């Protein structure tokens, strides 16, 4: 086969055969396809799009370009993926809650890039935690603990790794077809029986409008189901963070407060909803409501907290994290309170601006090689609809240098709108797809 003819077909709006798409994915993985050809392929897809069948074939071919895990466990294997947002630490709650309800969760996650935080970066804010484990260790931890949140090895979907690097320098990252194949090739390589997709919408998400979110959600759900994995999607609101904190150690602290019963609110509402759907999908609950009740019980009675602490220890973290977690999390030396300048309500916040603020503090990365300071970020951020008086604290900014913190505190004030009008707070759960 010939890469040029495959690229030409896509460019002309034609659909290559499944064998041709498989050959191209193998060429991405083994180097037979050049960077120039990979870039041309990505640009052709960006311009012309792909049919559902072609998208499924590309996803399956990229999945099969490396190792595909198999499991021999006494319960169903499930997984969840979020398209990313600010203050989104759902995975750290959901994986252990699912595990204590009888599911097994090998969750291959990513790092933060741009304005959104990464699940792996949050975990690695805990001293000693290593998320880059071998497949043998992944199998052992999942079997013993019930869940493991780790990074992909180089043997998982190598075609995607190659194509993603090319997309990043050819302005084709925002292709829905390529986003779909990239996300699902890695997720499906873990061979879950059921998958729930959390597609974020709003100021703190990549997808800003309902139309954008629905297009991506539909593509993901259709493709995953066509590839043989029972998949549902939920579009959820990201016009404000899910917890009142942004930054790796600060978000882990919020997770532990939620697991300890000290924190309610949006983070638990979405965890229960997503987990309930998954449990119902694999027969561990009679329906989504029953599943949500099971997840809620696991979070409230401490079982999920114990499971999370076991996972942390299995990944090399502290063995006393369940009871002594606060002592292990880094604390920034400079903290500045940001106060409201007038009476009113918190009516809006620019989630993307807040995410970039954390990056500038040192809590995120602009390139994959950037070092992260786990201690920096934002805490005590008031939610949309909160009533404030002039002089009230609306958030705290944590950083390593007083001059940088002072600048970012003023930027935070500009990113959070306080006005006299009573706001309409968007619903957290916007739409469910696939059932």
Q: Do domains 78-324 and 334-419 have the same CATH topology?
A: no
Residue 16 burial by CB count (10 A; 0-12/13-18/19+): exposed, middle or buried? buried
Residue 263 a catalytic site member? no
Contacts of residue 153, Cβ cutoff 8 Å, sequence gap at least 6: 67, 132, 134, 135
Strand 334-339 relative to strand 393-399: parallel, antiparallel, unpaired? Answer: antiparallel
What is the homologous superfamily of the domain 334-419 according to CATH? Pyrimidine nucleoside phosphorylase-like, C-terminal domain (3.90.1170.30)
Catalytic residue from among 55, 187, 328, 396: 187
Residue from 56, 63, 80, 398 carrying the catalytic annotation: 80
Catalytic residue from among 55, 63, 162, 167 = 167
- The pair phi, psi for residue 250, each rounded to 5°, is -65, -35
Other C-beta atoms lying within 10 Å of the C-beta of residue 261: 13
Is residue 182 among the annotated active site residues? yes
Is 119 among the residues known to form the active site?
yes
Tell me, yes or no, if 334 is annotated catalytic.
no
> In angstroms, rounded to a whole number, what is the distance separating the alpha carbons of residues 247 and 188?
29
Topology, domain 78-324: Pyrimidine Nucleoside Phosphorylase; Chain A, domain 2 (3.40.1030)
Catalytic residue among 59, 83, 119, 180: 119
For 407-412, which contacts have Cβ atoms below 8 Å and span 24 or more sequence positions?
408/357, 408/360, 408/361, 409/336, 409/338, 411/353, 411/357, 412/338, 412/354, 412/357, 412/378
Asked if 186 is an active-site residue, the reply is yes
Asked about 162 being catalytic, the answer comes back as: no
| Beta-bridge partners for 336 | 397
- Yes or no: say if 94 and 67 are a contact pair by the CB < 8 Å rule: no
Q: What is the DSSP letter of 387?
A: E
Confidence (pTM): 0.93
Phi-psi region of 160 (alpha: psi -120 to 50; beta: other; left: phi over 0): alpha
Per-residue pLDDT of the chain (435 residues; tens, 9 = 90+): 889 999 999 999 999 999 999 999 999 999 999 999 999 999 999 999 999 899 999 999 999 999 999 999 999 999 999 988 888 999 999 999 999 999 999 999 887 666 667 899 999 999 999 999 999 999 999 999 999 999 988 899 999 989 988 887 888 888 999 999 999 999 999 999 999 999 999 888 878 888 889 999 999 999 999 999 999 999 999 999 999 999 999 999 999 999 998 888 899 999 999 999 999 999 999 999 999 999 999 999 999 999 999 999 999 999 999 999 999 999 999 999 999 999 999 999 999 899 999 999 999 876 656 788 999 999 999 999 999 999 999 999 999 999 999 999 999 999 999 999 999 999 999 999 876
167 is catalytic: yes
Q: What is the domain partition of the chain in residue ranges?
A: 3-49, 78-324, 334-419
């Amino acid at each position: 086969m010939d890469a040029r003819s495959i690229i030409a077909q896509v460019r002309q709006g034609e659909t290559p055969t499944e064998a041709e798409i498989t050959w191209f994915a193998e060429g991405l993985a083994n180097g037979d396809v050049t960077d120039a050809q990979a870039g041309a392929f990505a640009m052709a897809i960006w311009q012309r799009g792909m049919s559902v069948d072609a998208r499924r074939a590309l996803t399956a071919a990229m999945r099969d370009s490396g190792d595909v895990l198999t499991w021999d466990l006494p319960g169903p294997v499930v997984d969840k993926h979020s398209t990313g947002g600010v203050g989104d630490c759902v995975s750290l709650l959901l994986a252990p809650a699912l595990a204590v309800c009888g599911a097994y969760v090998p969750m291959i996650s990513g790092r933060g890039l741009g304005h959104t935080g990464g699940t792996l970066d949050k975990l690695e804010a805990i001293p000693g935690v290593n998320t880059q484990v071998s497949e043998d260790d992944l199998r052992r931890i999942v079997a013993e603990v019930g869940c493991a949140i780790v990074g992909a090895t180089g043997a998982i979907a190598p075609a995607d790794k190659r194509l993603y690097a090319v997309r990043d320098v050819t302005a084709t990252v925002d292709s829905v077809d390529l986003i779909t194949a990239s996300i699902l090739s890695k997720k499906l390589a873990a061979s879950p029986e059921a998958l729930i997709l959390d597609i974020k919408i709003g100021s703190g998400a990549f997808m800003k409008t309902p139309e954008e979110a629905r297009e991506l959600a539909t593509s993901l759900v259709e493709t995953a189901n066509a590839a043989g994995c029972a998949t549902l999607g939920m579009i959820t609101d990201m016009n404000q963070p899910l917890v009142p904190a942004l930054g790796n150690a600060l978000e882990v602290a919020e997770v532990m407060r939620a697991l300890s019963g000290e924190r309610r609110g949006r983070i638990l509402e979405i965890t229960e909803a997503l987990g309930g759907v998954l449990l119902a999908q694999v027969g561990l609950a009679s329906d989504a409501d029953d599943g949500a009740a099971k997840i809620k019980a696991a979070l409230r009675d401490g079982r999920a907290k114990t499971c999370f602490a076991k996972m942390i220890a299995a990944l090399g973290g502290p063995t006393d994290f369940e009871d002594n977690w606060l002592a292990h999390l880094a604390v920034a030396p400079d903290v500045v309170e940001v106060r409201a300048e007038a009476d009113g309500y918190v009516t809006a916040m620019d989630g993307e601006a807040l995410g970039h603020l954390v990056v500038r503090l040192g809590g995120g990365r602009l390139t994959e090689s950037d070092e992260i300071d786990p201690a920096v970020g934002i805490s005590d951020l008031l939610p949309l609809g909160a009533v404030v008086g002039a002089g009230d604290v609306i958030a705290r900014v944590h950083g390593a240098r007083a001059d940088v913190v002072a600048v970012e505190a003023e930027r935070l004030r500009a990113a959070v709108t306080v006005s006299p009008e009573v706001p309409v707070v968007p619903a957290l759960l916007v739409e469910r797809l696939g059932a």
